[in-house]
Amino acid sequence: MHAVLETILPREASNEYRGGLVPFYGFCLVAAVMLFRSTVHFLKDDSGVNSIASIILFEGSPDPNNLIYLFSSIGGVEQLLFVMVYGVVLWRYRNLIPLMFAFLVVESCFGFVVGALHPLDPVYYEHTPPGKLGAVPKLLFAVGMLALSVRNSNSNRQG
């Protein structure tokens, strides 16, 4: 257990990554997907809420959709900050890749909590949003990549 914790939270950050190529390229994929997702949420006029997630438009005065877009765009900024951290990890601190996968696992779990606290019935969208469809695969991918990166790091450390 100590070795696992030491791999996820190393005493020193460095570019010495021992987690293997599969988790490394898996992390690159996560970074690319997050870059797309965060950019859409941040910059798209509807922040992807209507055009991608198919959330219905709401009626009202003042327009309630602008408030929804605002909060979604703020979420995009937060996601973009994470992408910047991912970039720094890929550039200078690759031994933190297992930690990034651990954060992704936590983020995925928090997403399920948010969904339970604020459930949206199908009446709110035209089709199931991609984020909802991808929630379980994202969690499984993150757990798998975390496990691989930790296992590979520990076997490379011992071998």
């939270």: which residue's tokens? 9
Q: Are 69 and 46 in contact (CB under 8 A)?
A: yes
Cα first-last separation, the chain: 18
User: Measured on CA atoms in the order 96, 97, 99, 104, is the torsion positive or negative?
Assistant: positive
- Amino acid letter for position 110: F
Task: Please report the pLDDT score of residue 4 as a whole number.
Answer: 86
Q: Domain limits of the chain? A: 17-158
- Residues 6 or more apart whose Cβ sits within 8 Å of residue 109: 139
Provide the whole-model pTM.
0.90
Q: Are 81 and 136 in contact (CB under 8 A)?
A: no
pLDDT tens, position by position, 73-90: 999 999 999 999 999 999
Task: Please report the pLDDT score of residue 2 as a whole number.
Answer: 77
pLDDT tens, position by position, 43-56: 999 999 999 999 99
- Average pLDDT, stretch 16-34? 95
Query: Any idea what DSSP says for residue 55?
Result: B
**Residue bearing the bigger pLDDT, 88 or 19:** 88
Q: How many angstroms separate the CA atoms of 47 and 70, rounded?
A: 8
pLDDT at 94 over 60: yes
Q: Are 153 and 82 in contact (CB under 8 A)?
A: no
